[in-house]
Amino acid sequence: MPQPITHLLLERKVLGNFLGDAVHQGDIYREEWTSFGQDIFYVKDIIRHTHPQRYNVVSDTFHWDGSYDEFCSELDILKSKRNEDRDGSQKTDLDQLGADIYRRYLHAVGDLIFHPFVYRAAKDHWRNHPSHEYRRHKVIESIIDAYLLDVLEGTNPYEFRYNDHSMRPHTSLELDDNLFEVVNSGIKLAYGKSGIFAANGVDYEKYFGRYSSDDPNHPLRDAYRDFIFYTELLFAFHKPLRHISGLDCLVPLEKINDDQIRLMNQDRKQWYLSDNPEMPRYSVLELLNLAVKVGTKIVQASERFLASDFAISHDFFAIHANNVVYLGQNFNLDTGLPSSENLALVKLATIDETLRYGVDMLAANYKTIENYV
Ligand SMILES: [Zn+2]
Ligand SMILES: [Zn+2]
């Protein structure tokens, strides 16, 4: 999970090309929450404890497998809603819903592009997360947030006012019904029915299935409120939070020093020491550009699907988007590799083997994206 601002900047760069100023309209919490994507259950119950289960395993599973399937399910639902809206009376709502669906998958894209770098810089393990390395992982991501804001917008995380609803006064504290329905169905189809949850030890019934859709405390609705509460707290009460271990590394950085800037790899060092010349050397700024490029391709292909005669986006992408990296199969948002590699990855004994695994595959995907015009 690169920190929230990186995902927001990426989403605005990509969708700005399609939606123009409309990207800045509508509900601010909704925009932030959808760009927070697969991370939403990491902050559920972090402060309020409304559910006895730990939902972290849900967000972990979202990262390891199934995000492409979920994206496709959501696009298919959107398309059928658009077909039903014959008189166009729902058009504004459905356009907003389309942006939400894109944002959720653009979160995945941000992770896929940045995480292979972050994990190597921190020497973190995608699944075991040793505590010292995991902390470093979070710190590097906070530096990336502050660095990108400084370079791209000339501001810092506090002046940027991440989710300041006073900028958009009509913002609601409750999850929109259309958005709830689409995400809830997307999760059910991609994770509950497909068996991906079961394969990762997550009981769909326990975490989602037993809640009725109109339950005001459905875990998705609670995750929305918890997200608002958590991010408000993070930006408003950053000083006291700096002293709470576990939360301290999540507090956004106001200023970054030269040592921290060096971690952004402007001098293009190998991400991890290796004899393999394919070990990537991209800087953080280059990574952002790659994420914008591939994110734009994905949205373009999706718009073509929505305008086509196809009802099933999986089928459309298989035929018409086979040159678009991250369309066509599920990827692991932590390793940047196809989810089909997960089994081989868990068998590796050391962190060194893990961080050297699949580098040729990774490099080939980055190169494909680099060559997009
Ligand atoms: Zn991360
Ligand atoms: Zn994430």
Q: 43 alpha carbon to ligand 1 midpoint, in Å?
A: 14
Residue 365 is part of which domain span?
Answer: 4-370
Please state, in angstroms and rounded to a whole number, the distance separating the CA atoms of residues 221 and 225.
7
Measured from the alpha carbon of residue 121, the closest ligand is 1
CA of 179 to the centre of ligand 1 (A): 25
Ligand nearest to the CA of 332: 2
The CA 56 to ligand 2 mean position distance, Å, reads 12
Query: 108 C-alpha to center of ligand 2: Å?
Result: 6
Residue 1 CA, ligand 2 centroid: distance in Å: 4
Alpha carbon distance 71, 313 (integer Å): 9
**Are the C-beta atoms of 75 and 97 separated by less than 8 Å?**
no
Q: Rounded to the nearest 10 degrees, how much is the dihedral formed by the CA atoms of 236, 240, 243, 246? A: -40
* Residue-wise pLDDT tens digits, 92-133: 899 999 999 999 999 999 999 999 999 999 999 999 998 999
By the CB criterion, residues less than 5 angstroms from ion ligand 2 are: 1, 38-39, 111
Q: Which residue did the predictor score with more confidence, 170 or 221?
A: 221
Residue type, 225: R
CA of 85 to the centre of ligand 2 (A): 33
Q: Are 280 and 115 in contact (CB under 8 A)?
A: no
3-state secondary structure 4-23: HHHHHHHHHHHHHHHHHHHH
Cβ contact 126:334 at 8 Å: yes
Distance (Å) from CA 327 to ligand 2 centroid:
17
> Among all ligands shown, which has an atom nearest to the Cα of 111?
2
Question: Residue 246 C-alpha to ligand 1 middle, in angstroms?
Answer: 15
Is 325's pLDDT higher than 70? yes
pLDDT at 142: 94
Q: Check the CA dihedral 210-216-217-222 and report its sign.
A: positive
CA of 134 to the centre of ligand 1 (A): 9
Say how many Å lie between the CA of residue 367 and the centre of ligand 2. 23
Question: What pLDDT shows up at residue 166?
Answer: 79
CA of 115 to the centre of ligand 1 (A): 6
Give the containing element (helix H, strand E) for 131. helix 131-148
CA–CA gap between residue 39 and residue 83 (Å, rounded): 31
Which of 12-21, 104-113, 295-304 has the weakest average pLDDT?
Answer: 12-21
3-state DSSP assignment of residue 331: strand
Residues near 224 by Cβ (< 8 Å), separated by ≥ 6? Answer: 29, 33, 40, 174, 175
In angstroms, how far is CA 23 from the centroid of its own chain? Answer: 18
Percent of the chain exceeding pLDDT 90 equals 79
| Ligand with smallest separation from the Cα of 67 | 2
Sign of the C-alpha dihedral computed for residues 134, 137, 141 and 142 taken in this order: positive
Distance between Cα 107 and ligand 2 center (Å): 6
Burial class of residue 233 in the structure, from the number of CB atoms within 10 Å of its CB (0-12 exposed, 13-18 middle, 19+ buried): middle
Find the 128 Cα to ligand 1 centroid distance in Å.
13
The bound ligand whose nearest atom lies closest to the alpha carbon of 331 is 2
Give the number of domains in the chain. Answer: 1
Three-state secondary structure call for residue 369: helix
The Å distance, Cα 215 to ligand 1 centre, comes to 31
pLDDT at site 26 = 75
| CA dihedral over 342, 344, 348, 354, signed as positive or negative | negative
pLDDT tens per residue, range 121-131? 999 999 999 89
Q: Would you say residue 23 has pLDDT above 70?
A: no
